[in-house]
Amino acid sequence: MIIVRTPLRISFVGGGSDMKAFYAHNPGKVVCTAFDKFVYAIVKERFDDLIYINYSKKETVEHVDAIQHDLVREAMRITGVDKGVEITTLADIPSSGSGLGSSSSITVALLHALHTYQNTLVTAEQLAREACRIEIDTLGKPIGRQDQYAAAYGGVNRFTFLPDDTTVRTPVRISGKVRRKFASSLLLYYTGITRSADDILSRQKSNLGADEKRRIMQAMVDLVDPFTEAMEQDDIQAYGRLLDENWRLKQQMAAGISNPVIDAMYHTAKAAGALAGKISGAGGGGFLLLVVPRENQNQVFAAMRAYRELPFMLEDSGSKVIFDDRSYSSK
């Protein structure tokens, strides 16, 4: 049995510029982090030739083409696994509509586990590229390339997306003390709303055909380097201001990115001492990320007590095999 663990991600600034509708014309750029909430892909060889799949549903099929779970089906096609296997996916957080990149993390985890099952060594770059191929090229999802790379590599990174589909990773180098202070300034609250990102992202993708929306997205891209520098310099006022500006711009990209529930949470947190807030992911629901100085956190905790906080830490590791009990291979 093989178990792969792959992190989820939190996006800070520049999100949306990883969509080809933008970076085909101007390089996109984001800064984001993996964090210590994970998805898991488990692959186990079976004695018979059937394919067993366990997620929110259970499937038992004879052929790959009959699999309903599109990510499992396409990952099996890429890796060449076609029979006699049981595949299970698990998640620390319900994956539907979380805004934390869970779909891409699951895709990366499945690819990693199935490649390992085939005794194929893969790099983080290969996993990210193959996950993009599945989600964007094969399945036609209206998403970008940030989530796949964040899941595969882990850590805090700045990613640049070039017109030829090349993705350039630049790890953000911050000392242990600065890193701990940065992480401790971030709070994550669940909005109680789950939604499909595809609707909002489809509108945003379509809107990127307009010059005005491209200018707004470019303004978000222009925040990435100053945000990264503020992180490195431990300047909470600066990176809080930049995150807040990114949220103001993001809401102009498509209808539905915010709503009355999100607005109420945001204003409650700001009134209690938060410097900034934004929805993680496409918007419309999921999790609200806040930047809060330590001296204001008790007030924010009290003001936000009606909402569920998700404590977390930054995660250095990307996708990794955490268990493999095969003493020899029959592959």
> Do 183 and 62 share a domain, yes or no?
no
Structural contact between residues 8 and 124, judged by C-beta atoms closer than 8 angstroms: no
Given a cut of 60, whether residue 24 has pLDDT beyond it is yes
Q: What is the mean pLDDT of the chain?
A: 94
Would 117 be classed as within a structural domain? yes
| 68 & 200 share domain | no
pLDDT at 321: 98
Residue at 329 is within a domain:
no
What is the C-alpha to C-alpha distance for residues 131 and 111, in angstroms, rounded to an integer?
A: 8
- Is 101 part of any domain? yes
Q: How many domains does the chain have?
A: 2
Residue 186 sits in the same domain as residue 164 = no
Model confidence at 10: pLDDT above 60:
yes
* DSSP-based three-state secondary structure for 32: strand
Residue 322's contacts (CB-CB under 8 Å, 6 or more residues apart) are 3, 4, 5
What average pLDDT score do residues 259-277 get?
A: 97
Calculate mean pLDDT across residues 250-274: 94
The whole-number average pLDDT for the span 25-30 is: 97
The 10s digit of each residue's pLDDT in 93-134 is: 977 778 899 999 999 999 999 999 999 999 999 999 999 999
Crossing angle for the helix pair 236-250 and 176-184, nearest 10 degrees? 50
Share of residues in the chain with pLDDT > 70 (%): 97
Is 165 found in the same domain as 115?
yes
Residues 44 and 107 in one domain: yes
Is residue 197 a part of any domain in this protein? yes
Question: Which domain CATH number covers 241?
Answer: 3.30.70.890
The pLDDT tens digits of the residues spanning 190-243 come to 999 876 667 777 777 777 878 898 999 999 999 999 999 999 999 999 999 999
| Residue 162 resides in a domain | yes
Query: How far is it, in rounded angstroms, from Cα 288 to Cα 192?
Result: 10
Tens of pLDDT, residues 144-165: 999 999 999 999 999 999 999 9
CA-to-CA dists, residue 238 to 118, 181, 241, 250, 288, angstroms:
47, 14, 5, 18, 19
Q: How far apart are CA 219 and CA 277, in angstroms?
A: 18
Per-residue confidence (pLDDT) for residue 326, from 0 to 100: 87
Label residue 94 exposed, middle or buried (CB < 10 Å: 0-12, 13-18, 19+).
Answer: exposed
Q: Which domain holds residue 240?
A: 176-309
Q: Show the tokens assigned to 275.
A: 């410097």
Q: Which of 217, 151, 206, 191 is nearest to 279 (CA)?
A: 191
Question: Where does residue 27 fall: left (phi above 0), alpha (psi -120 to 50 degrees), or beta otherwise?
Answer: beta
> Using an 8 Å Cβ cutoff, are 186 and 290 in contact?
yes
Q: How far apart, in whole angstroms, are the C-alpha atoms of residue 93 and residue 115?
A: 25
| Residue 164: predicted pLDDT | 96
User: Are residues 160 and 46 both part of a single domain?
Assistant: yes
C-beta separation of 18 from 145 below 8 A: yes
CATH of the domain at 148: 3.30.230.10
In the chain, % of residues over pLDDT 90: 85
pLDDT at 330 exceeding the cut of 70 = no
- In tens, the pLDDT along 283-305 reads 888 999 999 999 999 999 999 99
Residues 28 and 99 in one domain: yes
Residues 19 and 159 in one domain: yes
Looking at the structure, do residues 247 and 198 belong to the same domain, yes or no?
yes
Q: Is 331 contained in some domain?
A: no
Same domain, 154 and 181: no
Spatial distance between the Cα atoms of 268 and 290, rounded to a whole number of angstroms: 11
Residue 330 lies in a domain: no
pLDDT, tens only, 65-98: 999 999 999 999 999 999 999 999 999 997 777 8
Tokens of 262: 């999100």
Q: Are residues 83 and 225 in the same domain?
A: no
> Domain check: are 152 and 284 in the same one?
no
